[in-house]
Amino acid sequence: MWQWFFKLSSPKWFYTISGQLMPWLATLTTLLLGVGLVWGLAFTPPDYQMGENYRIAYIHVPSAAIAMGCYYMMACMAAAFLIWRIKMADMIAKACAPVGMTFTALALFTGSVWGIPTWGTWWIWDARLTSTLIMLFLFIGVMALRSAYDSEAAGAKATAVLTLVGVVNVPIITYSVKWWNTLHQGASSLSLSNTAANPPQIWVPAFFVGFGLLGFYLIAIILRTRNEILMRERRTEWVDEILSASKSKGQGLS
Amino acid sequence: MSIIKATLRRELLIAFRSPGDIINPLMFFVIAVSLFPLGVGADQAFLSEIAPGVVWVTALLAVMLSMDSLFRADYEDGSLEQLLLSPQPLYFIILAKVSSHWLVSGLPLVILAPVFASMLALPEGGMFPLVAGLLIGTPILTLLGAVGMALTVGLSRSGLLLSVLILPLYIPVLVFGTGIVNSALNSIDISGLLALLGAMLVLALCLAPLAIIAALRISVSL
Per-residue model confidence as pLDDT tens digits over A125-150: 877 788 889 999 999 999 999 999 98
Instruction: Give the whole-number percent of chain B exceeding pLDDT 90.
Output: 60
Residue numbers of B between 128 and 147 with CB closer than 8 Å to A? 144, 147
Q: Tell me how close the Cα of A148 comes to any Cα of chain B, in angstroms.
A: 7
A199 phi, psi to nearest 5 deg: -75, 165
Chain A hits for B199, CB-CB cut-off 8 Å, are none
Q: Which residues of B touch A140 (CB under 8 A)?
A: 164
Do the Cβ atoms of B215 and A161 come within 8 Å?
yes
Name the pLDDT band for B209 (thresholds 50, 70, 90).
Answer: very high
Q: Among the listed ranges A87-96, A171-180, A211-220, B175-184, which one has the minimum average pLDDT value?
A: A171-180
A124-to-A131, A185, A188, A252, B176 alpha-carbon distances in Å: 12, 10, 10, 46, 20
Q: Find, in chain B, the residue whose alpha carbon is nearest to that of A147.
A: B161
B168–A134 C-beta distance less than 8 A:
yes
**For A172, which of B147, B164, B172 is closest by C-beta distance?**
B172
As a whole number of angstroms, the longest Cα–Cα distance in chain B is 58
B69's CB contacts (< 8 A; 6+ apart) are B15, B21, B101
Average pLDDT over residues B89-116: 93
At A187 the pLDDT is 40
Predicted confidence (pLDDT) at residue B150 exceeds the cutoff of 80: yes
pLDDT band at B141 (very low <50, low <70, confident <90, very high): very high
CB contact under 8 A, B215 and A140: no
Burial-class residue A231 by CB neighbours within 10 Å (0-12, 13-18, 19+).
Answer: exposed
Residues of A in Cβ contact (< 8 Å) with B214: 82, 157, 161
CA-nearest of B77, B79, B174 to B133 is: B174
pLDDT at A252 over 90: no
Q: What band does B59 get if pLDDT is binned at 50, 70 and 90?
A: very high
* Nearest of B150, B133, B104, B111 to residue B191 by alpha carbon: B133
Contact between B218 and B80 (Cβ < 8 Å): no
Q: What is the pLDDT of residues A92-124, one digit of tens each?
A: 999 999 999 999 999 999 988 888 887 778 888
Q: Is the pLDDT of residue A185 over 70?
A: no
pLDDT tier for residue A189 given thresholds of 50, 70 and 90: very low
Residues of A with CB below 8 A from B162's CB?
Answer: none
A186: pLDDT strictly greater than 70: no
Q: What ipTM did this prediction achieve?
A: 0.88
pLDDT score of A191 more than 50? no
Confidence band, pLDDT 50/70/90 cuts, at residue A76: very high
Tell me which residue in B157, B176, B215 faces A158 most closely, judged by beta carbons: B215
- Directed axis angle between helix A87-119 and helix A127-148, to 10°? 150
Sorted by sequence, the CB contacts under 8 Å of residue A244 that are 6+ apart come out as none
Residues of B in contact with A177 (CB under 8 A): 171, 175
For the whole model, what pTM was predicted?
0.87
CA–CA min distance B218, chain A (Å): 6
Q: In the prediction, which pLDDT does A129 show? A: 82
- How many angstroms separate the most distant Cα atoms in chain A? 66
* pLDDT at position A55: 80
Q: What's residue B38's pLDDT?
A: 92
The 3-state DSSP composition of chain B as helix, strand, coil percent (nearest 5) reads: 85, 0, 15
Query: Terminal CA-to-CA distance of chain A, rounded, Å?
Result: 28
Q: Do A154 and B200 touch (CB under 8 A)?
A: no
DSSP A51: B
In chain B, what residues touch A182 (CB-CB under 8 Å)?
none
Please report which residue ranges of chain A form alpha helices under DSSP H: 2-8, 11-38, 57-84, 87-119, 127-148, 152-185, 200-232, 237-249
